[in-house]
Structure 1
Amino acid sequence: MSAGVPVLPGRDLPPQPYGAGWPTYWRQEAACRDGDPDAFFPPDGRNTKARAAAETRARKVCAGCSVRRACLATALFRQEEHGVWGGLTSDERNSVVPRGRLSADEALAFADRLLLSTYATS
């Protein structure tokens, strides 16, 4: 991995179970594992057309991903500041997640609630 280049969830990473019920090898099943990092980690700059287009591409991949829940929960648990995880941008995650650290169980439960609300509005 070169410096400054994000690694997508499925690439060469060991399993990260954060507790009982956490999918152990979810990253190897991620739909984005061989995808374009620029879609999931768009270039800096707020509200640009390029950023919006990249996030739209990422959301399309996330929408059909079988491990979307674990991906989003990981971002919530690790307080990821960048990128599209589980179909949500960093701004979206920051706007709906309470301040402070979530436990692994809380992150999974919160991901479930967010995904249910996403499906209800789609």
Structure 2
Amino acid sequence: MSAGVPVLPGRDLPPQPFGAGWPAYWRQEAACRDGDPDAFFPPDGRNTKARAAAERRARKICSDCPVQRPCLATAIFCQEEHGVWGGLTSDERASVVPRGRLSADDALVFADRLLLSVSVAS
């Protein structure tokens, strides 16, 4: 697995809270924790059928995930450039999140806005 993969085993990982209101062990509750990381980090090549299929699989898993918000906020806060996090692709995140470092609180606010706009669009 590559660094930054949201698919993590077990409950023995250290907590990763970035601030107040951030669940300490959110990764262990993720719906993707036992899944295939290739679904969340699709193959290179823009607009390929394989990439689109992988992103659809990832979004389906993310849509029912109990920790979708902190997952997306982590990608925003850490400026993750690859993969599907919280149901949004790296291109989607890059197109709406301002460049530059955001605070942990701001990352949570952006995640809330993005998740609300995705749910309204659905």
User: What band does the TM-score fall into relative to the shorter chain?
Assistant: over 0.9
Q: CA deviation at 1:35?
A: 0.4
Q: CA deviation at 1:15?
A: 1.2
The amino acid across from 1:60 in the alignment is K
Aligned equivalent of 2:22: 22
Aligned equivalent of 2:35: 35
Q: Contact 1:6–1:37 (CA<8 Å) still a contact in 2?
A: no
Aligned equivalent of 2:47: 47
Q: Contact 1:17–1:23 (CA<8 Å) still a contact in 2?
A: yes
The amino acid across from 1:11 in the alignment is P
Structure 1 residues 55 and 98, CA, compared in 2 at 3 Å: closer, same or farther? Answer: same
TM-score (structure 2 length as normaliser): 0.93
Q: Contact 2:7–2:37 (CA<8 Å) still a contact in 1?
A: no
Q: Which 5+ residue runs of structure 1 have no aligned equivalent? A: none
Percent identity, aligned pairs only, is 78
Give the match's secondary structure for 2:17. Answer: coil
Q: Which 5+ residue runs of structure 2 have no aligned equivalent? A: none
The amino acid across from 1:10 in the alignment is L
How far apart, CA to CA, are the structure 2 residues paired with 1:31 and 1:43?
21
TM-score (structure 1 length as normaliser): 0.93
Pick aligned residue for 1:11 from 9, 12, 20 = 9
Q: CA deviation at 1:107?
A: 0.2
